[in-house]
Amino acid sequence: LQIPATMKRKAATKDEATTDPGTPRRQQRRTSPRTAEAAAVITPERLVSSRRTDINTPESRSSTGQPTTPLRVHALATINNLPPRFSLSQSICSYGYFGLAPNVWKPASDDAHEDEGVYERPFVYGTKHREEHAAVIRVQQTSPTTLALTVISGDVPVTDEHIEQIASHVRRVLRVDWSPEPFWEVHPEARRRGYGRTFRSPTLWEDLVKTITNCNMKWSGTCQMNAKLCANVGHQRSGGTGAGPASRSSSSGDAAFPTPLQVAEKGPEYLKANCRLGYRAPWVYELSTKFLSGEIDSMRLEDDDLSSDAMYKSLTSLKGFGKFASYNVMQLLGRHDSFPYDTETTRLFRGQFKVPRSVPTSAVHKQARERYEKYHPHQFLAYWFDLWRNYEARRGTVSTRWTNEACSAL
């Protein structure tokens, strides 16, 4: 699928280009002369529900190269007025959940700018719970201030209202409406890189489930659980990459992340038998029922006026959410003064910061708190910056060049 030529990224002019001597060429950012206060808005650029165009994209071909069912372009929209120094690749490739199903990151070629990569995932849209459909969206940064959203579907039209719904979730994933400037003021190295907007899911529900699958489990197991949840419970999307769940452990292929209703209808025994959830199955099932009943209020938990203590208390009341899980959800909700420390924290401090093995884990975590206290209220971001660079050093390449397979191998 080709973005229209008028929307392709324009080369930065000399007066637009800004570089930092300490920044690698491919990570240098181009900025636009605009104010930080301008909000990102969704603007329909072309609505083609009345004149659909059937096309065979490269992704809609089978492994033998033969065309499969054509993908239909239903709508193309843009999110404009992005904040200064916004980077799609840095916002996506910043936290491990970007490598979990049903997310797909297609990195730019080695000789291209990192922000020419493509983010894709099936997305559920429509009336809550009952009248829901799945389609794939592709997100591309076509200029320093613009994201292009290509919505691909089958027979179900994607309306203006649906586009706005999808765009609001894209903004959540990329934290478009959150400014890293206060963090950058105390962490110049993060500013040079453009790091700060850490990846999260389109919904709190998905973040909660992913966090449950991430606790007391090897990363490869977390990847498998999420892929099976999508493939065996979620909506089968219309269109997509054509790569089924058997072809990769980190992506679901043609299925969206399951909704609370879909999980509740399957029940805990099905989840245990078909999604490798084990003892987590009853927790995920109960979580779905609480969302359906309204006992879990997403709007309340996402309210900036809610105190961190109240948020922590609400999260720890949920089955499966201990200290680490609750703190992790809090950072996903933007409370970056939380401390989701675990075995990876211990590994980082023993390996990179040379803490002796004789020091107990609790003392290592205390050292972590003390080390990052100077970044308050952004302690998590400073900690994750160190850990994420450690992952990159282990992989031997920057995360913006990782495929889903590379992420699942962490």
Q: Tens digit of pLDDT for each residue in 154-179? A: 557 778 888 899 999 999 999 999 99
Question: Does residue 192 register a pLDDT over 60?
Answer: yes
β-bridge partners, 123? 135
pLDDT bucket at 60, cuts 50 / 70 / 90: very low
Per the CB < 8 A criterion, the answer to whether 307 and 333 are in contact is no
Residue 12, pLDDT score: 40
Tokens of 259: 């909704």
Q: How far apart are CA 393 and CA 397, in angstroms?
A: 7
Residue 151, pLDDT score: 82
Question: Does residue 246 register a pLDDT over 50?
Answer: no
pTM here? Answer: 0.83
By C-alpha distance, which of 1, 267, 255 is closest to 135?
Answer: 255
Question: Does residue 142 register a pLDDT over 50?
Answer: yes
First to last CA, the chain: 31
Task: Compute the radius of gyration of the chain from its Cα atoms.
Answer: 21
248-259: average pLDDT:
66
Per the CB < 8 A criterion, the answer to whether 319 and 286 are in contact is yes
> Quick count: other Cβ atoms within 10 Å of Cβ 97?
21
Q: How far apart are CA 267 and CA 269, in angstroms?
A: 6
Question: Which parts of 352-400 fold into alpha helices (H)?
Answer: 361-372, 379-395
Question: Does residue 4 register a pLDDT over 50?
Answer: no
In the numeric block, the tokens 């959540």 are attached to 172
Query: 271: number of CA atoms within 13 Å, CB side?
Result: 28
Per the CB < 8 A criterion, the answer to whether 201 and 329 are in contact is no
By C-alpha distance, which of 40, 322, 29, 68 is closest to 170?
Answer: 40
Residue 127, pLDDT score: 74
β-bridge partners, 237? none
253-279: average pLDDT:
94
Question: Roughly what angle, to the nearest 10 degrees, separates helices 379-395 and 361-372?
Answer: 110
Question: Does residue 314 register a pLDDT over 70?
Answer: yes
The answer to which of 126-140, 288-302, 333-347, 371-385 has the lowest mean pLDDT is 126-140
Residue 208, pLDDT score: 98
Instruction: Give the alpha-carbon dihedral of 115, 116, 119, 120, to 10 degrees.
Output: 170
Residues of the chain above pLDDT 90, percent: 67
In the numeric block, the tokens 């900025």 are attached to 31
Indicate the residue type of 220: S
55-81: average pLDDT:
56
Task: Tell me 152's DSSP state.
Answer: E
> Quick count: other Cβ atoms within 10 Å of Cβ 310?
13
pLDDT bucket at 40, cuts 50 / 70 / 90: low
Whether the bond between 102 and the residue before it is cis, its omega within 30 degrees of 0, is yes
pLDDT bucket at 135, cuts 50 / 70 / 90: confident
